[in-house]
């Protein structure tokens, strides 16, 4: 380990690894600090991602692909199923993130970044008002390490940005509070992602079954903290399992949070940038944050590396705009659509499902499905049009 690094990345999830890799590619010194013992574990994720989202960063590899997805199934509150197939370029995967995250970290290390696990960052160093390093705990010892730039990739539980004076806590109404189990003997189509909507399954959120091969599946849900006030995610999951899979052996159980909102107002400040869940770069409509977090992190990593090479640390502040141009603005639209859908009554979900099912299966493209949904909720038209046009 060095006495001082150009860049320190806090957190070694997908975002941390991509920030480290894209910075190291610029030829600067990079160290990743991770509080957990292992990269990639515990897994707090449904593990679904589009193929395109993966392949921007790493070649697809069966080592960490548990399922190939070519269909979505949307289940309305009255249990009407709407099945939607998509073409090969829209294909997706269910990952084994335990291995995937590890492989991502390896790509960072292969470009020259270093990594130190079991290292809990608990404060920042400052040089006047500029962030100038981190304080951390390792093997029971409190230590300090200087860096020209700190990149906070510390996930939904992020605190690093707060210490730099950024407002990073998320409104409890925008937090999708999740529980998920991985269970066996779940007889679902191995190439379909299942989404359940409505008051019974997951009000102001959705319930999912994502297959992982061999009749194993991730089964979980997220509900807004507003719902959690009355009924927790765990109670919804218990009711579902009792009703549909009372005998299924449960292999793992986890809790987790998805910051389901637009990106923070400010994701950089002198000497610091925030990426991934820490910056709230999750797609607020789907709750997916692996791909968008990697995109945000790659931009921040590249800009941070350039800033050091040019010896112009102010350059880091261009990251906010670069992110907004690439995805941030689109997330604002997604967020408005999410708010529209959250307000749907069970009855409206049912009516939409019934009308979509009148479109023959072969002709049921995402575009047509949206158009049918829109006839029932015209005010969303403009927002959805923007998503497809921008």
Partner 1 sequence: MEYRQAKTGVLMIEILPDKCDFCGCCVGVCPEDAIELKEAEIFIIDERCTNCSKCIWSCPIEVIMFNKEGVVAK
Ligand X SMILES: Cc1cc2nc3c(=O)[nH]c(=O)nc-3n(C[C@H](O)[C@H](O)[C@H](O)COP(=O)(O)OP(=O)(O)OC[C@H]3O[C@@H](n4cnc5c(N)ncnc54)[C@H](O)[C@@H]3O)c2cc1C
**Binding of residue 181 to ligand X (CB under 6 A):** no
Which of 120-134 are b and which e, b meaning 16 or more Cβ less than 10 Å from the residue's Cβ? ebeebbeeeeebbbb
**Binding of residue 220 to ligand X (CB under 6 A):** yes
Output the smallest distance, CB 17 to ligand X, in A: 8
| C-beta of 187 vs 239, nearer to partner 1 | 239
CB-nearest residue to ligand X: 289
Closest CA to 119 of 102, 142, 100: 142
CA distance 292 to 328: 9
Residue carrying the six token digits 């607020």: 284
**Across the strands, what pairs with 94?**
48, 67
- 10 interface partner picked from partner 1, ligand X, none, CB below 5 to 8 A per type: ligand X
- 328 interface partner picked from partner 1, ligand X, none, CB below 5 to 8 A per type: none
| C-beta of 13 vs 284, nearer to ligand X | 13
Residue carrying the six token digits 């689109």: 330
- 225 interface partner picked from ligand X, partner 1, none, CB below 5 to 8 A per type: partner 1
CB of 222 closer than 8 Å to CB of 206:
yes
| Residue 228 DSSP one-character state | H
| C-beta of 156 vs 384, nearer to partner 1 | 156
| Residue 45 DSSP one-character state | S
Sole binder of ligand X in the list 20, 183, 269, 290 (CB under 6 A): 290
| C-beta of 28 vs 202, nearer to partner 1 | 202
Count CB-CB contacts under 10 A for residue 272. 26
| C-beta of 68 vs 159, nearer to partner 1 | 159
Taking CB under 6 A as the criterion, which residues in 56-115 touch ligand X? Answer: none
Sole binder of ligand X in the list 77, 92, 284, 293 (CB under 6 A): 293
* Among 6-14, 196-204, 305-313, 317-325, the segment contacting ligand X (CB under 6 A): 6-14
Which residues would be at the binding site for partner 1 (CB under 8 A)?
35-37, 44, 118, 120, 122, 137, 155-159, 162, 169-172, 175, 177-179, 225-226, 228-229, 232-235, 253-257, 259
Which of 334-371 are b and which e, b meaning 16 or more Cβ less than 10 Å from the residue's Cβ? bbbbbebbeebebebbbbbbeebbebeeeebeeeebbe
| C-beta of 82 vs 221, nearer to ligand X | 221
CA distance 250 to 181: 7
* Among 152-160, 317-325, 357-365, 368-376, the segment contacting ligand X (CB under 6 A): 152-160
Assign 255 to helix, strand or coil: strand
Task: Give Rg (Cα) of the chain.
Answer: 21
Residue 300: both structure tokens together: 């921040």
- 288 interface partner picked from ligand X, partner 1, none, CB below 5 to 8 A per type: ligand X
Output the smallest distance, CB 123 to ligand X, in A: 9
Q: Tell me whether the omega of the peptide bond preceding residue 156 falls within 30 degrees of 0, making it cis.
A: no
| C-beta of 121 vs 352, nearer to ligand X | 121
- 66 interface partner picked from ligand X, partner 1, none, CB below 5 to 8 A per type: none
Count CB-CB contacts under 10 A for residue 4. 13
Output the smallest distance, CB 389 to ligand X, in A: 24
Closest CA to 104 of 19, 213, 30, 212: 19
Binding stretches for ligand X (CB under 6 A): 10-16, 33-36, 44-49, 120-121, 153-157, 178, 180, 220, 256-258, 276-278, 282, 287-291, 293
């Amino acid at each position: 380990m060095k006495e001082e690094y150009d860049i320190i990345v806090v957190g070694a999830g997908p975002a941390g690894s991509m920030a480290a890799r894209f910075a190291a590619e610029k030829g600067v010194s990079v160290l990743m600090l991770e509080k957990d013992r292992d990269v990639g574990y515990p897994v707090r994720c449904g593990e679904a991602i589009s193929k395109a989202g993966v392949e921007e960063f790493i070649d697809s590899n069966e080592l960490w692909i548990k399922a190939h997805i070519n269909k979505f199934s949307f289940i309305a509150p009255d249990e009407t199923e709407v099945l939607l197939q998509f073409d090969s370029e829209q294909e997706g995967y269910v990952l084994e993130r335990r291995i995937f995250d590890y492989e991502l970290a390896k790509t960072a290390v292969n470009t020259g970044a270093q990594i130190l696990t079991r290292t809990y960052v608990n404060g920042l160093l400052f040089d006047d008002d500029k962030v100038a390093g981190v304080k951390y705990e390792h093997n029971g010892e409190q230590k300090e390490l200087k860096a020209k730039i700190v990149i906070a990739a510390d996930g939904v539980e992020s605190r690093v940005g707060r210490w730099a004076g950024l407002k990073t806590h998320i409104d409890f109404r925008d937090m999708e509070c999740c529980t998920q189990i991985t269970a066996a003997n779940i007889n679902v189509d191995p190439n379909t992602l299942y989404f359940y909507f409505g008051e019974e399954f997951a009000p102001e959120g959705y319930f999912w079954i994502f297959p992982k091969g061999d009749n194993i599946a991730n089964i979980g849900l997220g509900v807004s903290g507003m719902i959690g006030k009355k009924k927790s995610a765990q109670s919804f999951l218990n009711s579902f399992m009792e009703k549909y899979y009372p005998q299924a052996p449960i292999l793992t159980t986890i809790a987790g949070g998805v910051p389901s909102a637009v990106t923070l107002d400010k994701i950089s400040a002198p000497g610091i940038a925030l990426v991934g869940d820490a910056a709230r770069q999750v797609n607020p409509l789907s709750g997916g944050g692996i791909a968008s977090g990697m995109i945000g992190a790659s931009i921040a990593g590249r800009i941070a590396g350039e800033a050091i090479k040019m010896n112009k640390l102010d350059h880091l502040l261009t990251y906010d705009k670069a992110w907004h141009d690439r995805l941030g603005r689109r997330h604002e639209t997604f967020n408005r659509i999410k708010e529209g859908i959250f307000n749907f009554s069970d009855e409206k979900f049912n009516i939409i499902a019934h009308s979509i099912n009148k479109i023959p299966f072969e002709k049921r493209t995402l575009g047509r499905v949206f158009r049918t949904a829109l006839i029932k909720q015209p005010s969303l038209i403009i927002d959805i049009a923007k998503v497809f046009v921008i």
